[in-house]
Amino acid sequence: MDETFVVIGGDAAGMSAASKAKRDEPDLDVVVFEKGRWVSYGACGLPYYIKGEIQTLDELVSVPPEEFREERDIDLRTGHEVIGIDPDARTVTARSDDGETIQPYDHLLIATGAAAVDPSIDGIDLDGVYTLGSMTDGKELREFVARSRESSPSDQPDRGPACQYLENCSGPVGVVGGGYIGIEMAEALVANDFEVHLFQRDDRVLNGFSRATSEAVAEHLEEQSVSVYLNAEVESIGGSDAVEAVLTADERVPVEMVLLGTGVRPRTDLAENAGIELGPTGAIATDEYRETNVPNVYAAGDCAEAEHVVTGEPAYVPLALTANRHGRAIGQTVAGTPSEAGGIAGTAAVKAFEVEAARTGVVDHDEARDAGFDPVSKTIDAKSRAGYYPEGGTVRVTLTADRESGRVLGGSLVSEYGEGAVHRSHALVGAVTEAITVDELSNYDLAYAPPFNTTWDPILTAAKVLGGKL
Amino acid sequence: MDETFVVIGGDAAGMSAASKAKRDEPDLDVVVFEKGRWVSYGACGLPYYIKGEIQTLDELVSVPPEEFREERDIDLRTGHEVIGIDPDARTVTARSDDGETIQPYDHLLIATGAAAVDPSIDGIDLDGVYTLGSMTDGKELREFVARSRESSPSDQPDRGPACQYLENCSGPVGVVGGGYIGIEMAEALVANDFEVHLFQRDDRVLNGFSRATSEAVAEHLEEQSVSVYLNAEVESIGGSDAVEAVLTADERVPVEMVLLGTGVRPRTDLAENAGIELGPTGAIATDEYRETNVPNVYAAGDCAEAEHVVTGEPAYVPLALTANRHGRAIGQTVAGTPSEAGGIAGTAAVKAFEVEAARTGVVDHDEARDAGFDPVSKTIDAKSRAGYYPEGGTVRVTLTADRESGRVLGGSLVSEYGEGAVHRSHALVGAVTEAITVDELSNYDLAYAPPFNTTWDPILTAAKVLGGKL
């Protein structure tokens, strides 16, 4: 196969596709353009790097560039930004410190990722305003934390996390956004003794989860000394050179740093300029092979949408597994074995201090109704292990189903960290993907032993209880 | 509904059926005969009671008898042994201290459970030979442990579990059988400072699990100071009045106590005497409603077989969830809503000291071939959390699929305790029940975040790797 596969973007989707294509078809020339210097890195680990649980950024790199080049025989060109795609000529133009290159392709993958959304408010250019979209962002935040700790008079290695009990806290700092990044960063900052104020525009954190999950997480954040402001749209960030305060309609909260965790948007400029269609979500539209409207041009990862397994409609859920999975399928396809990449269920997980939460499928009733369902939900609190077992906590499960068919549409779970909300969500991913009913789910022969669950796992109890409501 | 529902046996299946029937149809008369004094108890918790983590047997009772009688309005007759069923007359005969009663029924549930299998060897009647089939057995074992601890010269509350490092151990004791009971009791006994010798007839512990799982568990047992003897059929128990040794073909191991964990057999005498058919497994045959060949006579729990979701054939897997689930479905049916009870996947979980293991579906190749499949298996070791995350261990996953169709037939997992082998098995229960392929499984949008897994959860990695072998 004397062909060339060009990949734009060297993170999860891009490197998965490049590696798989080359492994399956060694004769293929594989060229990857990455504008930065980092490739194949675990951005999801950045909050733990900033927290101090991971010591170097290199630890977040799953495969170093040399391994791609030398062992996998991939022509990986870091420091190369692609500035144009010409689908008619089948070329891309890349710019580096050495000038411009025109690279022909037979197959092209656009894996340009997503960019942090900056809210259009005053003050976001002040010193001390951070986002967390890149390895560089992570480095800067860690340096900020280190500086603050050094200057903090009560900096002692054995200090506890609960800042309000201490005489001298670092901070205060503001976190804008109550999604994963906001919550994980709140944990990282509290662990470094910052007084953390978290501002959420909506009336709850973790919007895509069930309200019951959101409430449990918000309550826990407060217990862990995070001040959570709900219905608190940030109107501006105050300060002259450096950040001094976060301002909402109601309050002016003095802070020394602001982290913006206000979501991401797909990077689609390159694709749009080349006439590649975007979908209804604003991300690049793809078919079940993740091919765009332009033949032999694929898109995957945080720049692309994909069909939702419950609604069948395009959805934009920029998360790591989808990028890896879709990249890998494209690699197989390009190497000669057309491979459907599978849809997305909108599954997500988050650790928030000492609780864990996960969600999958369609939980929100408006979203379910838009997709033609008649949603019914039920939330239960169940013991995470046998009642008599000496350890254990509570798993709160919200399950949503369609009234008429009984089909499981989605679920949301929260438990103490280690009590299994996240791993239990695996069962619900199968349920929503296979379109089974709550009755079928309630008859699943799930594993049981006292150290792991009650005889009826909380998943089964939720299915039983919701089944009784249909 | 002026009818009577009679239940024989007051544990999981019986009390689930009784409670559900009465709740759904309050006009139904529900009579339960239980020969012992305990009902609705969690026998699965007995090893933890013996271990000392649970302080009273009462804690294992999920619903006390008075609650069944007073709040649920069930005519629960403890101390009543049913000695005959007359399907023509639709009556059962029960015997108690007060004499015999003949009780008519419209619907009957046989939930007589299982009995521990005593191996037919010399010495099983010696003092110091125990089984663990009932609450009474549990009480006796706990008393044995307490006596031994009292007489042990080095009994100190802070003694560690690793007996070989101590000058004065209790014991030695022998555990015969390397299944759940044997392993859980080994943990309970080591925790009480006994020197434990575990004898397993086969060449590995946990027969129904994958060999890779069995080996990991056996290795861990040895690490925890349990002497594991494989291929070690016990030929006799030596001693004059009390136990003195366990004898195999190769060895004579001195012990002061023997626990027989050599499996259970269904209690079917009553059913057989009434002309109710047994199935190929030797347990009572039932249809999808758990009805026997005699109309209006049901069987559920440890005395009955049920269809396997993978093979479609009858299987005998006497475990707690099935008893609860099938009992509940029978209660619904009897109350007027015919309810299929769902098959069984042979799912099981066990904690062995600091590891956990689970299995589901068909893992064994002979069993798969008998069911008409062409089995292929693959075992992988994967990190339980992101590689860079400060905690975590290894999840070992064995997946078995059919070569031609790619269908997932079964799986077996083992990890450190708390690293999620058991809860992750929930995903595989869905996979085997819904008959999906390994490729479909590998495309599941499972939850991911660094504190819970790698981007590809070990389940997905196993599916990918096995998919590559088909």
Taking one residue from A and the other from B, the number of pairs with CB-CB distance under 8 angstroms is: 218
Ranking A1-5, A230-234, A340-344, B241-245 by mean pLDDT, the lowest is A1-5
Contacts of A60 in chain B (CB under 8 A): 388
Pair A183, A200 in one domain: yes
The DSSP secondary-structure symbol of B59 reads G
Q: Cβ neighbours of residue B413 under 8 Å, at least 6 residues apart? A: B213, B357, B358, B359, B395, B396, B397, B398, B421, B422, B424, B425, B428, B458
Among A212, A242, A260, the domain boundary falls at A260
Q: Is the pLDDT of residue B168 over 60?
A: no
Task: Enumerate the β-bridge partners of residue B358.
Answer: B349, B413
B446 closest CA partner among A333, A309, A332: A309
Whether the predicted pLDDT of B162 surpasses 70: no
Model pLDDT, residue A153:
53
- What pLDDT, on the 0 to 100 scale, is given for residue B169? 59
Tell whether B182 and B249 lie within a shared domain. yes
Cα–Cα distances in Å, from B441 out to A412, A426, B243, B444? 21, 11, 51, 5
Residue B347 included in any domain: no
The per-residue pLDDT for B395 is 98
**A144 and A255 inside one domain:** yes
Query: Taking Cα atoms as reference points, which of A306, A432, A423 lies closest to residue A360?
Result: A432
How confident is the model at residue A312, as a pLDDT? 96
| Beta bridge pairs of residue A423 | none
Q: How confident is the model at residue B42 (pLDDT cuts 50, 70, 90)?
A: confident
CA distance B320 to chain A (A): 7
Residue A460 token pair: 């089964």
Residues A370 and A441 in one domain: yes
| Interchain CB distance below 8 Å, A342 and B59 | no
The CA-based angle B51-B52-B53, given to 5 degrees, is 100
Instruction: Compare all CA atoms of chain B with the CA of A13 and give the residue at the minimum distance.
Output: B455
Nearest to B429 among A180, A346, A444 (CB): A444
Q: Which structural domain range is residue A383 located in?
A: 354-469
Contact B342 A444 (CB under 8 A): yes
List residues bridging with A277 in a β-sheet. none
Q: Do B450 and A44 touch (CB under 8 A)?
A: yes
Residues of A taking part in catalysis: 44
Give the separation between CA B32 and CA B41, rounded to whole angstroms. 15
On whether residue B344 sits in a domain, the answer given is no
Whether residue A171 contacts residue A189, with contact meaning beta carbons closer than 8 Å, is answered with: yes
B44/A449 Cβ within 8 A: yes
Place of tokens 């990991």: B216
pLDDT at residue B62, rounded to an integer: 87
Residue B291 in any domain: the answer is yes
Q: Would A449 be classed as within a structural domain?
A: yes
Residue B159: what pLDDT? 38
A312 CA: distance to closest CA in chain B (Å) = 14
**Which of A44, A387, A423 comes nearest B423 by C-beta?**
A423
Q: Which residues of B37-64 are buried (b: 16+ CB within 10 A; e: fewer)?
A: ebbbbbbbbbbbbbbebbeebebbbbee
Q: With 0-12 CB in 10 A as exposed, 13-18 as middle and 19+ as buried, what is A201?
A: middle
What pLDDT, in 10s, does the model give residues B442-465? Answer: 999 999 999 999 999 999 999 999
Q: A387–B418: do the CB atoms touch at under 8 Å?
A: no
CB-CB neighbours of A39 under 10 Å = 23
- B318 and B375: one domain? no
Whether A251 and A269 share a structural domain: no
Chain B residue numbers with beta carbons less than 8 Å from the beta carbon of A337 are: none
Q: Of the candidates A214, A236, A260, which is a domain's last residue?
A: A260
Alpha helices in B305-399 (DSSP H): 320-334, 365-370
- What are B331-377's pLDDT values in tens digits? 999 999 999 989 999 999 999 999 999 999 999 999 999 999 999 99
Query: What H or E segment, with its residue span, contains residue A181?
Result: helix A180-191
Longest CA pairwise span in chain B (Å): 70
Q: How far apart are CA A63 and CA B389, in angstroms?
A: 16
Q: How high does pLDDT run on average in chain B?
A: 94
Give domain status of residue B205, yes or no: yes
pLDDT tens sequence across A157-166:
443 444 444 4
Residue B420 lies in a domain: yes
Residue B165 pLDDT > 60: no
- Which residue in B422, B427, B447 is closest to A452 by CB distance? B422
ipTM: 0.95
Cα-based torsion angle of the residue sequence B63, B69, B71, B74 in order, rounded to the nearest 10 degrees: 100
From chain B, the residues in CB contact with A452 under 8 A are 349, 351, 356, 422-423
Residue B156's pLDDT is: 45
DSSP state, residue A127: B
Looking at residue A62, what is its pLDDT?
A: 87
Give, for A439, the enclosing helix (H) or strand (E).
helix A438-442
- Do A87 and A275 meet the contact criterion of CB atoms below 8 Å apart? yes
Quote the mean pLDDT of chain A. 94
Residue A255 shares a structural domain with residue A135: yes
Q: What is the pLDDT of residue A149?
A: 78
CB contact under 8 A, B447 and A422: yes
Residue A347 lies in a domain: no
Question: Is A351 in contact with B451 (Cβ distance < 8 A)?
Answer: yes
State whether B146 and B253 are in the same domain. Answer: yes
- Domain co-membership, B249 together with B276: no
Of B60, B309, B356, the CB nearest to A452: B356
Number of domains in chain B: 3
Q: What is the mean pLDDT of residues A213-225?
A: 98
- B337: chain A residues, CB-CB within 8 Å: none
For residue A102, being part of any structural domain is answered with yes
Do B136 and B97 share a structural domain? no
Query: Nearest-CA residue of chain B relative to A454?
Result: B321
Please tell me whether residue B348 adopts helix, strand or coil conformation.
Answer: strand
Percent of chain B with pLDDT over 90: 92
Please indicate whether, in this complex, the C-beta atoms of B320 and A448 are within 8 angstroms of each other.
yes
Share of chain A above pLDDT 70, in %: 96
* Interatomic CA distance for residues A301 and B344, integer angstroms: 39
Strands B257-260 and B129-131 turn out to be parallel
Contact of A290 with A339, CB cutoff 8 Å? no
Structure tokens at A126: 């002040």
B154, pLDDT greater than 60: no
CATH of the domain at B414: 3.50.50.60
Tell whether the model's pLDDT for residue A65 goes beyond 60. yes
Indicate if A82 and A13 belong to the same structural domain.
yes
Interchain pair B388, A341: CB under 8 A: no
- Chain B contacts of A12, Cβ < 8 Å? 455
- Using CB atoms, which residue from B44, B417, B430 is nearest to A431? B430
CA distance A296 to A135: 31
Span B6-14, average pLDDT: 97
Name the closest residue on chain B to residue A55, using Cα atoms. B388
Please tell me whether residues A192 and A239 are part of one structural domain: yes
| Distance separating alpha carbons of residues B382 and B395, to the nearest angstrom | 5
- Using a CB-CB cut-off of 8 Å, the residues of chain B touching A343 are 445
Of A227, A260, A293, the residue at which a domain comes to its end is A260
Q: Is the peptide bond before B172 cis (omega within 30 degrees of 0)?
A: yes
- Residue B152 above 90 pLDDT? no
Q: pLDDT class for A169, splitting at 50, 70, 90?
A: low
